[in-house]
Structure 1
């Protein structure tokens, strides 16, 4: 009997349909996306479902949304901070950053982690939320998901073991990954888009909800296998990210 394919979240399937349409030139890079009502009708989906997918596409830098203009398709693939280095090193510039582990959990997949780690709705994956501070100020809120433990053990058992317990001293998951996989063919792909902190993240970073921020996303693979997906929220005033080539 053929193995049953894992069930994908509807918003992830819709995300992939739109990306495929962009790649096929139906919505060419640089063009404006159709209005929400027309796009929902073209794709045969509800507007609430479409809006969820569009938010995810915007977070990943596939499209840009500007008030009064609409949604613009970006050129793929996106170019971002492509050097595989821990955020502590990229932002610290040689100075030590203080890391506080806000959450260390085995969590249900989000739309973001399901998309980039190829998860099913039944998967449970390691999730860390880490606050990074420099000179006494919050500089980065890191949200990082790893592949399921059984998948990690096939390609990087050292990381699977390292993620079982909270890191001491606290650090980002990417830092632990790079230490565990220093001899492996790791590859990273990233995007950087403009955003706002919002209420919850603003409280975590000690800033107003409407503070401008950069949202950097990163997916790390061992060969072709995705092992980590991350979001890094950087409020205004954070040191600039160096733009370099992927490892």
Structure 2
């Protein structure tokens, strides 16, 4: 299933308007003006503004202008924001590229079946990819997607973003992603893939994609080379 041809989400369009307001140091336009300029309903604008406020982009008060948090302009990546690896690298101002080291259909292990509540012997697509920024390896991703539909994994491009692969193979839209950040030394295999010394400290992210019905749509482990990315966590402090 492709997203081509679908209208751009209101929240994403509002985020561009937020960036314009943040750069000029002014407030966001009101709901009526936004709805008119974006050609969407006021309820749709209001819902998107609520999400932006929850993520710390704006602050709204009844009867006052919607102020913007311009400090976020310098933050390329946030822990609470899901970005595809290519988008993440591009957000750092670098050119992304990817090498698919392996892509094969196999079965879940007993440990995976227990950890992710899937049926033993369940078929899965396993991929290992190395992402580079300006030609420099910066991220190793080991992704696993259960094959719960009749779609042949061999006919899919393994570079396809994980949520799209999950729609094809697991048959459901991912609603949440549970992420466990950590730190570890580079294994022999990972060190070889990124050309760094074995044991060098690296950040790890273990994530599980879950549909709104509770289906596990994928799980992944990412190893981020030290110094390649700079993350931020934005949280409200209006206690």
TM over 0.5: yes
The CA deviation at 1:110 is: 4.0
C-alpha distance in structure 1 between counterparts of 2:210 and 2:90, whole Å: 24
Extract unaligned runs of 5+ from structure 1. 1-79, 154-159
Could you tell me which of 200, 205, 212 is aligned with 2:194?
205
SS at match of 2:231: coil
Could you tell me which of 169, 188, 196 is aligned with 2:185?
196
Determine if contact 2:166/2:217 at 8 Å carries over to the other structure. no
The CA deviation at 1:177 is: 3.6
C-alpha distance in structure 2 between counterparts of 1:162 and 1:117, whole Å: 22
> Would the alpha carbon gap of residues 179 and 116 (structure 1) be closer, same or farther in structure 2, given more than 3 Å must change?
same
C-alpha distance in structure 2 between counterparts of 1:111 and 1:173, whole Å: 26
C-alpha distance in structure 2 between counterparts of 1:203 and 1:215, whole Å: 17
TM-score by length of 2: 0.55
C-alpha distance in structure 2 between counterparts of 1:235 and 1:171, whole Å: 20
Extract unaligned runs of 5+ from structure 2. 1-77
The CA deviation at 1:85 is: 2.3
C-alpha distance in structure 2 between counterparts of 1:227 and 1:133, whole Å: 26
Aligned to 1:87: 85
Determine if contact 2:166/2:173 at 8 Å carries over to the other structure. no
C-alpha distance in structure 2 between counterparts of 1:241 and 1:115, whole Å: 31
CA RMSD of aligned residues (A): 3.0
How many equivalent pairs are there? 154
Correspondences of 1:4-23 after superposition (within 5 Å): none
C-alpha distance in structure 2 between counterparts of 1:144 and 1:88, whole Å: 15
After superposition, the C-alpha distances for 1:209-229 in whole angstroms (9 at most, x for unaligned) are 011101101111111111010
Determine if contact 2:94/2:134 at 8 Å carries over to the other structure. no
Aligned to 1:138: 137
C-alpha distance in structure 2 between counterparts of 1:98 and 1:216, whole Å: 20
The CA deviation at 1:197 is: 0.6
> Would the alpha carbon gap of residues 244 and 202 (structure 1) be closer, same or farther in structure 2, given more than 3 Å must change?
same
Aligned to 2:219: 229
SS at match of 1:164: helix
Q: Which has the higher contact order (CA 8 A, sep 6+)?
A: 1
TM-score by length of 1: 0.54
> Would the alpha carbon gap of residues 177 and 123 (structure 1) be closer, same or farther in structure 2, given more than 3 Å must change?
closer
C-alpha distance in structure 1 between counterparts of 2:90 and 2:152, whole Å: 24
C-alpha distance in structure 2 between counterparts of 1:135 and 1:112, whole Å: 37
